[in-house]
């Protein structure tokens, strides 16, 4: 059978680091409060004029170089983002043009913090059904543009950045020893809209709005839903959780990571955490954490890697990959 295999990955962060102490100079907060409640110590914030496509392009170029392929080899670009450059066209088409890709297709996916795994799932399906051979999947955000900087309960949590992977078709036997994406699981429940949303949009207010969140409620649902997605993925693969070498969670909050690890009985040493450095970068969070653990040598060829995420909608998702 055809599998989709990760042949390269890349990341891009803006140069501008904003620490908790920097925020404390601008609003009534403190490093102690933010670290104790979230584990976040700093975040990267795009400079004026720097757009989501700029970050996406940086991650895309690094992923293509890592894969050792030219842009002509790509059949498709999927960009997961909640903070597109414009209402239309898709940010993926901006990246397509700036990469010099003149064929194939490019489109965006909107599933907020779960967007990268949604994009990965679509790419995997298109490759396995033979519709495409090589797809670039990007998660890129400038969340700083969607924040209400007067709301200290939300603006301290988020950051900007981008991560990307190149998926390519390969031959597999159809078992869990195959290299590549073994399964993806996608979920949503639109009834939970009011817990996390932007209070604007083209068809409602003709503005982008600002991020609104009921933090305590989000926290409770996050641990439950992420655990359910993880179980769905390992059960579909017919493997025990203990077989997973690395868990790469959405980096929302260290307490959500710890709570989920406790609920699932995971070894904390297997959980990749970059939330202290990046904050919550929404759709960019999972690929940024993934690339961090690949570059520092933790994730190696042959390892079983489980990605998981949850975000506005609510949406939540998991992906099991033999690296």
Q: Active-site residue numbers?
A: 113, 250, 280
Non-local (6+) Cβ contacts of 204 within 8 A are: none
Beta pairing partners, 178 = none
Task: Work out whether 157 is an interface residue with ligand ACO (CB under 6 A).
Answer: yes
184 versus 315: smaller Cβ distance to ligand ACO: 315
Structure tokens at 21: 């102490």
Give yes or no for residue 196 binding ligand ACO (CB under 6 A). yes
CA distance 320 to 308: 9
> Does residue number 310 form part of the binding site for ligand ACO (CB under 6 A)?
yes
Task: Classify the C-alpha dihedral 68-72-164-76 as positive or negative.
Answer: negative
Does position 33 interact with ligand ACO (CB under 6 A)? The reply is yes
Cβ of residue 286: shortest distance to ligand ACO, in angstroms?
A: 11
What is the chain's Cα-based Rg?
18
255 versus 270: smaller Cβ distance to ligand ACO = 255
- Interaction of residue 84 with ligand ACO, rule CB under 6 A: no
216 lines the binding site for ligand ACO (CB under 6 A): yes
> Which string of DSSP letters, residue by residue, matches 179-223?
SEEEEEEEEE-GGGGGGEEES--TTTTSS---EEE-HHHHHHHHH
Minimum distance, C-beta of residue 293 to ligand ACO, in the bound complex (Å): 19
- 148: Cα separation from own chain's centroid: 22
Q: Per CB under 6 A, does 252 bind ligand ACO?
A: yes
- Determine, following the binding rule CB under 6 A, whether residue 219 of this chain makes contact with ligand ACO: yes
Tokens representing 159 are 């950051």
d(CA 13, CA 25): 23
Q: Which of residues 266-305 bind ligand ACO (CB under 6 A)?
A: 280
Binding site for ligand ACO (CB under 6 A): 29, 33-34, 37-38, 113, 152-153, 156-157, 196, 213, 215-216, 218-219, 222, 250, 252-253, 255-256, 280, 310-311
């Amino acid at each position: 059978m055809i599998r989709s295999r990760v042949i390269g990955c890349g990341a891009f962060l803006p140069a501008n680091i904003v620490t908790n102490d920097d925020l404390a100079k601008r609003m009534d907060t403190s490093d102690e409060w933010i670290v104790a409640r979230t584990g976040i110590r700093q975040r990267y914030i795009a400079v004026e004029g720097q757009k989501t496509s700029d970050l996406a392009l940086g991650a895309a170029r690094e992923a293509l170089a890592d894969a050792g392929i030219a842009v002509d080899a790509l059949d498709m670009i999927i960009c997961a983002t909640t903070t597109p450059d414009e209402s239309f066209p898709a940010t993926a088409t901006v990246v397509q043009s700036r990469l010099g890709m003149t064929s194939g297709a490019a489109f965006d996916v909107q599933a907020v913090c779960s967007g990268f795994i949604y994009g990965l799932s679509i790419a995997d399906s298109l490759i396995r059904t033979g519709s495409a051979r090589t797809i670039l999947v990007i998660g890129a955000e400038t969340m700083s543009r969607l924040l209400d900087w007067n709301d200290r309960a939300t603006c301290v949590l988020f950051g900007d950045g981008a991560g990307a992977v190149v998926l390519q078709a390969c031959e597999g036997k159809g078992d869990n020893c195959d290299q590549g994406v073994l399964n993806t699981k996608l979920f949503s429940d639109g009834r939970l809209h009011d817990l996390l949303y932007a209070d604007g949009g083209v068809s409602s207010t003709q503005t982008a709005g600002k991020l609104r969140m009921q933090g305590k409620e989000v926290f409770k649902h996050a641990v439950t839903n992420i655990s359910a997605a993880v179980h769905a993925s390992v059960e579909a693969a017919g493997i025990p959780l203990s077989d997973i070498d690395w868990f790469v969670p959405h980096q929302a909050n260290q307490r959500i990571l710890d709570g989920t690890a406790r609920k699932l009985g995971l070894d904390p040493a297997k959980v990749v955490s970059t939330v202290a450095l990046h904050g919550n970068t929404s759709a960019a969070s999972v690929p940024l954490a993934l690339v961090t653990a690949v570059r520092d040598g933790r994730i190696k060829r042959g390892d079983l890697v489980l990605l998981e995420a949850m975000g506005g909608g609510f949406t939540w998702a998991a992906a099991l990959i033999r690296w």
